[in-house]
Amino acid sequence: MKLNVDAGVKEGWGMGIGLICRGSEGEVVWGMAEHRTEEMEPRLAETWAILEEVKEARRRGHTCIIIESDCKTVIEAMKTKERGNSDFHLLLDDILYFCSNFDSVVWSFVSIKLNVVAHELAHLGSSAVGWQIWDSSLPEHVMSLVIRDINEMR
């Protein structure tokens, strides 16, 4: 499964995270968006989003995952299993713990152009606080981006 993740932080708005899981043909398996009123530093928000995605992938029984993010700092930290005592490093440790239950985890930095669906989901929750979860069928304007991505892959 390929998991794309993104987070958005805006002063006075809070933060949003967007998660999308796709199968081998690019088809949507599930998607999630969350809006929280609390604000986080962008690097922490991205790391929090990855933690939530890994937990959901594990809950759904996925065994081999590719995690794609446009936050190079976090992807590099995960690849090197960076250590430390900050809030950032505590979240990294939690992610590593959950990832130990997968058969395979690949970390991949992608440009924002290749992460547009997760980006849209991260900014979707601006009107309501809390989680929104979809199995295969995303909101129409987000699904149009998925279809465009699938067509570009072919």
Say if residues 15 and 33 touch (Cβ distance below 8 Å).
no
Query: What angle do helix axes 72-80 and 42-59 make, rounded to 10 degrees?
Result: 60
Amino acid identity for residue 83 in this structure = R
Alpha-carbon torsion 144, 131, 25, 47, what sign?
positive
- Selected residue with higher pLDDT from 141 and 115: 115
Helix H or strand E encompassing 56: helix 42-59
- Rounded to 5°, angle at Cα 21 from 17 and 27: 130
27-31, 36-40, 90-94 — most confident range:
90-94
What's the average model confidence in pLDDT over 11-38?
88
Residue 152: pLDDT band (50, 70, 90) is: low
Domains with residue ranges and CATH for the chain: 2-153 (3.30.420.10)
Instruction: Read off the tokens for 142.
Output: 């987000």
- The pLDDT value recorded for residue 141 is 74
Q: Average pLDDT, whole number, for the chain? A: 88
Residue 60: pLDDT band (50, 70, 90) is: very high
Residue 127: pLDDT band (50, 70, 90) is: low
Global pTM value: 0.88
Coil, helix or strand at residue 69: strand
